[in-house]
Chain A
Amino acid sequence: MAYIPEGAPCAGRIRTVTFGTGEGAITLGGQNAMPLYGFDASFANPPRAGIAVTDLPPENLPELTRFYEGCETMAQRAVRARERSGADFLCLCFPGADPGGANRSVEACTADAVAAAAAVDVPLAVVGCGNLQKDELLLTAIAEALKGRNLLLFAARSENYQRIAALARDFGHKIVAQTADDVNLAKQLNIMLKGVGVSYDSIVMNVGTAAVGYGYDYVASTYDRIRLAALEQSDEDLQMPIAAPIYADVWSVKEAVAEEADEPQWGSREERGICMEAATAAADLTAGADAVILSHPASVQTVRRFIRELMEGGAD
């Protein structure tokens, strides 16, 4: 009895969303198969690896300090990252804006963003500091200042989506709808955004992140359920591409943070962090992320190699 392998495309398709400008613009999504299943349907757009560039110089991370040596401003760090990390896009991050930390002003952060954007010509994403009120002000200011750059803004939450919607409508950027490991909330936020005039071609989802080993089961199952609904049931309200900013989760866990003196058996701290980041990124890509955002250039290299191998090595 001959065996005929079943490879079949899914009924539904992930939408495409493009951010960045000109030839280098990146398009995410477009596939009609479960993640990385190039045998079910040919790949539409490859998943992408971005690198996080922060407004404050990297602290407590000697490996990153080395990489950014000689860079004093965010713009200089952006150039360094662009030239040497191999990342597909940059993510401008503003931990310095945290009211519980350095509490940098919206003006200062925006100036940094403008300078960094002027120094590089790659697609850009923007992430705030994690404080809801501050981020709304900050991302709005940056959206306005960088109108026309078609940014990917990690801005919308259920608490503020009405105001964030304006950033897409008025300044032409793409919005990331952010929820935490909850299929129902993710769907609902997309519907609410549509209700205030944001087209589904302008929405990317961040459905929750975690370092592997730290409740990753919730992330994995949320991704699986959303992808299955989008692809097998053609659920239009869940067919957005997914972006996963994992760097903050990864570099704050014990495995990446513990000093070698405290855990001599564990070996090099830098290597631990890189493996934790590579493993988490690969897990997210397997589960359905269309873009991952990392901190360490070595992780970026590994992840890009991973993506390339899975895109190209499938021919029979």
Chain B
Amino acid sequence: MALKGIDVFKLSPKLNCRECGFSTCMAFCMKVAQGDMSLEKCPYFSADAVEKLQRQAMPPMATVKAGPHSLGGETVLYRHEKTLVHKNLFAVAVCTRVPREKAEEKLRKLQSIDYTRIGERMQVECVFVRSHGGDEARFAELAGQAAAAGRCVILHCREASCAAAALEAVGSSAVLDAATPDNWEEMNDLARKYGVPLGVWAPDIQQLYETVRNLEQKGNKDLLLDVTLDTAAKTLRNAVLVRRAALKGGDRTFGYPSIVNIAELAHGDIRLQTAYAAMFIQRYGSVLVMQDMDYAQALPLYGLRQNIFTDPQKPMKVESAIYPLNGADENSPCAITVDFALTYFLVRGELERSNEKVNLIICDAAGMSVLTAWAAGKLSAESVKKTLENLAVERKIRSRILIIPGKVAVMRRQIQQALPGWTVVAGPGEAVQLPQYMKEKAYLTAAHAAAQETAAAQKEQSGEYTFQELLERLPPIHHEDLGVHYRGRAPGSRAFTVIGERIHCISPVIRRAMDERDPGPILKRAAEQIAAGATYLDVNIGPAASDGPERMMWAVKLLQENFDSVPLVLDTANQKAIEAGIRVYDRTHGKPVVNSADAGSRRCFLDLAAANDAVCIALCSADGIARDVGERMKFCHELLERGLHLGMASDDLWFDPLFLVVKGMQDKQADVLETLRLLSQEGLKSTGGVSNVSNGAPRAVRPVMDSAMMAMAMMQGMTCAIVNPCDSRMMETIRSCDVILNRVVYSDSYLEL
């Protein structure tokens, strides 16, 4: 938690005595907060104040180990603010009063909870062993048995003799949950002696605070707070106030994980305990003690825990594998989808509901949903083919029918081409339609149609061509005078660089034009963008698996030959296409621009740019969205180093902080702006797709939102962006900012120039 100058000032002597060398206490305190001055320079801060400030500089909550398990270390009250860090643990309680056989039965039963859920092993991590006083021998015996079961033992007692006996029996995978306002000194000694964390309890929150302070002053910061009181409501209050004080109140005294004895709150009612446990999983219970744990309780509670403690920025993935459903065998058709956990559960659930035999194949898509994975190039004909190879599907399964998600039906032909031995069909658009689709065996009718289409396509299919042959096979380039001329950038101009985004295969018009090599729509869009003032044109030919090089060569020549060698940004996931485009590229107005490399699987695009003396747009990410500013800059520096090493000039690397959609990611916009500022500070060039920001918003809203973001980004030093130049509000904003930033000399007609 960063110290703020004003926090230091509040605790300062406010004498303005100047002995520290500053004229005012305020000035001194500001420097201390920035880390440029040591607090010791002032002799008049009280010891209390010094201690408080030292504590504020530390993380708000300690991380404590219960046996091998880490607890605590949280920094936020709600997972969406950042992420929760350490999942809660579960304990089953055994007490000294219970007959031996029952206790042993309990220990046996809790060990039977052992299963894997989405790659995580679920077990009852702890045993809570409870003394009732004066039962040293039995307590130690139980503790020893719990330890022998391989669990972290939580020793709950109030007498030092019991504690000592049990600690002897147990060793260090234990927690001594025994300190109270009355006995904390001796329990502290015992805990220190055996090197175990100490649990602290008090009848009210005031005394809990004082007892913890006492322990801290004795030098013990290896603590847990037993927040259990006599009712669930009081316990919740305790748990919340304690956590809030630590994370929001700036008082580290309560910065420790908690123990909640749910078994005691609802003894005998395991269903009510289950409900309480669900509550405390979400609200600040670190160790939850249950009376019992059968699968009926474990399944929902471990599932909830798994959900709550996932990092919101990292999607849950299931293992890439073949999942035979409803008794499917080698002759059952295959359906393939992505490894995003939610998709998997949804699709699997619907397929199971259909009662039809089907082999569900999960492919590696970096945990993204179907559409996101497709857009990011993670779900493609190649990735599907690779999945089938990695899982040895053709060896294990005889059926050659592959159903792909209906949402990416556009990929069907490409996947079909990549898998000539299969019949690839598109499933329904929504998972909820799957039961009907499967029951009606709709995939068989589709398979028949697909097979006929494949046969026709195969007649046209030919082998790979060399570059020269491709060049010769290009259709003649259509030339047309649309009355628009590209004038080029004035040398030395500092005006903002606009890359026009409208020639993009996400537009059905452009996609069709590309497919059919129809120059009309493409030339029209290019003319509009150039007339509106675009400096570069982005050319997106789509993923274009099969004919990428020809497409790119054709598009590059078409645009450059019609518009005075207008400089282009080559935008595709197909490396060969980029290479081919560069080879026919006319460099009159400078180098071609490769869109884009990243610090992950797209590193090779940087190498490509370097090898071909091209500019490279470099995403500050690695196969996904970076989690914060720090990570973005890390990726930027990795790419910068690599580019320089390959002989590129730093000016030929244009870093993209990845503009994010406001809808759903409002809280991350600041990260993007801060990244732009740091890039500018380091003298690096930046760019990005600003219109990402307004994705999904109504038409009327988009130009307003995008222009506002543009102004803010330009303020942070961005000098280039991929935008729609025909958005007049955007262009007006850009021109105005260029004037305000003193990059272009003002004139009353500056908007019309």
In the complex with contacts A36-B236, A213-B299, A272-B299, A3-B253 CB distance below 8 A: yes
Binds B, one of A169-177, A195-203, A278-286: A278-286
User: In the complex, what distance in Å separates the CA atom of A220 from the CA atom of B312?
Assistant: 11
**B234, B294, B304: the one within 8 Å of A313 (CB):** B234
A133 contacts B by Cβ under 8 Å:
no
Q: In residues 2-25 of chain A, which contact B (Cβ within 8 Å)?
A: 2-3, 5-7
- Asked if A303 and B296 make an inter-chain contact with CB atoms under 8 angstroms apart, the answer reads no
**Residue interface bits A140-161, CB-to-B below 8 A is 1, else 0:** 0000000000000000000000
In the complex with contacts A6-B249, A212-B278, A224-B233 CB distance below 8 A: no
- Asked if A3 and B209 make an inter-chain contact with CB atoms under 8 angstroms apart, the answer reads yes
Nearest Cβ in chain A — how far from B566, in angstroms? 38
Do most interface residues of chain A lie in helix, strand or loop, or is the interface mixed? helix
A228 contacts B by Cβ under 8 Å:
yes
* CB-based nearest B residue for A284: B278
A41 contacts B by Cβ under 8 Å:
no
Q: Hey, which chain B residues are within 8 Å of A255, CB to CB?
A: 299-300, 303
**Residue interface bits A204-233, CB-to-B below 8 A is 1, else 0:** 000000011111111011001100100000
Q: Hey, which chain A residues are within 8 Å of B271, CB to CB?
A: 274-275, 278, 298-299, 302
- Asked if A266 and B345 make an inter-chain contact with CB atoms under 8 angstroms apart, the answer reads no
User: In the complex, what distance in Å separates the CA atom of A212 from the CA atom of B309?
Assistant: 12
Q: In residues 85-118 of chain B, which contact A (Cβ within 8 Å)?
A: 112, 117
**A2, A6, A36, A228: the one within 8 Å of B244 (CB):** A6
- Asked if B274 and A3 make an inter-chain contact with CB atoms under 8 angstroms apart, the answer reads no
- Asked if A312 and B205 make an inter-chain contact with CB atoms under 8 angstroms apart, the answer reads no
Nearest Cβ in chain A — how far from B165, in angstroms? 34
**A100, A215, A275, A279: the one within 8 Å of B436 (CB):** A100
A237 contacts B by Cβ under 8 Å:
no
- Asked if B304 and A266 make an inter-chain contact with CB atoms under 8 angstroms apart, the answer reads no
B16 contacts A by Cβ under 8 Å:
no
User: In the complex, what distance in Å separates the CA atom of A220 from the CA atom of B664?
Assistant: 15
B78 contacts A by Cβ under 8 Å:
yes
* CB-based nearest B residue for A272: B296
* CB-based nearest B residue for A286: B279
- Asked if B300 and A279 make an inter-chain contact with CB atoms under 8 angstroms apart, the answer reads yes
Nearest Cβ in chain B — how far from A3, in angstroms? 4
Nearest Cβ in chain B — how far from A32, in angstroms? 16
A271 contacts B by Cβ under 8 Å:
yes
Q: Hey, which chain B residues are within 8 Å of A218, CB to CB?
A: 342
Q: Hey, which chain A residues are within 8 Å of B296, CB to CB?
A: 266-268, 271-272, 274-275
User: In the complex, what distance in Å separates the CA atom of A215 from the CA atom of B79?
Assistant: 14
A310 contacts B by Cβ under 8 Å:
yes
**A37, A224, A253, A279: the one within 8 Å of B275 (CB):** A279
User: In the complex, what distance in Å separates the CA atom of A225 from the CA atom of B312?
Assistant: 13
A103 contacts B by Cβ under 8 Å:
no
Q: Hey, which chain A residues are within 8 Å of B295, CB to CB?
A: 265-267, 272
Q: Hey, which chain B residues are within 8 Å of A2, CB to CB?
A: 206
- Asked if A279 and B213 make an inter-chain contact with CB atoms under 8 angstroms apart, the answer reads no
Of the candidates A217, A278, A281, the one having the most CB atoms from chain B within 10 angstroms of its own CB is A217
A70 contacts B by Cβ under 8 Å:
no
**B231, B301, B307: the one within 8 Å of A220 (CB):** B307
B4 contacts A by Cβ under 8 Å:
no
- Asked if B279 and A282 make an inter-chain contact with CB atoms under 8 angstroms apart, the answer reads yes
- Asked if A309 and B112 make an inter-chain contact with CB atoms under 8 angstroms apart, the answer reads no
**Residue interface bits B566-597, CB-to-A below 8 A is 1, else 0:** 00000000000000000000000000000000
- Asked if B241 and A6 make an inter-chain contact with CB atoms under 8 angstroms apart, the answer reads yes
**A216, A265, A276, A313: the one within 8 Å of B233 (CB):** A313
User: In the complex, what distance in Å separates the CA atom of A287 from the CA atom of B342?
Assistant: 20
Q: In residues 261-304 of chain B, which contact A (Cβ within 8 Å)?
A: 266, 269-272, 274-279, 281-283, 294-297, 299-304
B341 contacts A by Cβ under 8 Å:
yes
Q: Hey, which chain A residues are within 8 Å of B729, CB to CB?
A: none
**A6, A224, A268, A314: the one within 8 Å of B234 (CB):** A314
A163 contacts B by Cβ under 8 Å:
no
Nearest Cβ in chain B — how far from A74, in angstroms? 24
- Asked if A36 and B307 make an inter-chain contact with CB atoms under 8 angstroms apart, the answer reads no
Q: Hey, which chain A residues are within 8 Å of B299, CB to CB?
A: 213, 255, 266, 272, 275-276
B349 contacts A by Cβ under 8 Å:
yes
Q: Hey, which chain B residues are within 8 Å of A136, CB to CB?
A: none
**Residue interface bits A276-316, CB-to-B below 8 A is 1, else 0:** 10111111011100000000001100110110011111101
- Asked if B304 and A216 make an inter-chain contact with CB atoms under 8 angstroms apart, the answer reads yes
Q: Hey, which chain A residues are within 8 Å of B276, CB to CB?
A: 282, 306
B448 contacts A by Cβ under 8 Å:
no
* CB-based nearest A residue for B80: A221
* CB-based nearest B residue for A183: B664
In the complex with contacts A213-B306, A309-B231, A282-B278 CB distance below 8 A: yes
User: In the complex, what distance in Å separates the CA atom of A214 from the CA atom of B245?
Assistant: 32
- Asked if B342 and A215 make an inter-chain contact with CB atoms under 8 angstroms apart, the answer reads yes
- Asked if B279 and A213 make an inter-chain contact with CB atoms under 8 angstroms apart, the answer reads no
- Asked if A6 and B245 make an inter-chain contact with CB atoms under 8 angstroms apart, the answer reads yes
Nearest Cβ in chain B — how far from A227, in angstroms? 9
**B251, B281, B312, B341: the one within 8 Å of A221 (CB):** B312
Q: Hey, which chain A residues are within 8 Å of B240, CB to CB?
A: 37, 39
B625 contacts A by Cβ under 8 Å:
no
In the complex with contacts A302-B272, A303-B275, A216-B308 CB distance below 8 A: yes
B210 contacts A by Cβ under 8 Å:
yes
**Residue interface bits B223-253, CB-to-A below 8 A is 1, else 0:** 0000000111110110011001100010101
B310 contacts A by Cβ under 8 Å:
yes
Of the candidates B237, B342, B663, the one having the most CB atoms from chain A within 10 angstroms of its own CB is B237
Q: Hey, which chain A residues are within 8 Å of B307, CB to CB?
A: 212-217, 220
**B78, B117, B209: the one within 8 Å of A224 (CB):** B78
- Asked if B278 and A286 make an inter-chain contact with CB atoms under 8 angstroms apart, the answer reads yes
In the complex with contacts A280-B300, A286-B283, A221-B237 CB distance below 8 A: no
User: In the complex, what distance in Å separates the CA atom of A22 from the CA atom of B674?
Assistant: 57
Nearest Cβ in chain B — how far from A134, in angstroms? 14
User: In the complex, what distance in Å separates the CA atom of A305 from the CA atom of B294?
Assistant: 21
Nearest Cβ in chain A — how far from B143, in angstroms? 28
- Asked if B233 and A310 make an inter-chain contact with CB atoms under 8 angstroms apart, the answer reads yes
- Asked if B236 and A310 make an inter-chain contact with CB atoms under 8 angstroms apart, the answer reads yes
6 more contacts with CB within 8 A, not counting A7-B237, A221-B78, A252-B349, are A6-B249, A275-B296, A276-B300, A286-B279, A310-B233, A313-B231
21 residue pairs A–B, Cβ–Cβ below 8 Å: A1-B213, A3-B251, A38-B233, A211-B300, A211-B303, A212-B304, A213-B302, A215-B307, A215-B341, A217-B307, A221-B79, A252-B349, A255-B299, A272-B296, A274-B296, A275-B296, A279-B277, A281-B275, A286-B283, A310-B236, A314-B233
Top 5 nearest A-B pairs (CB, nearest first) are: A213-B303, A313-B231, A314-B233, A3-B209, A282-B275
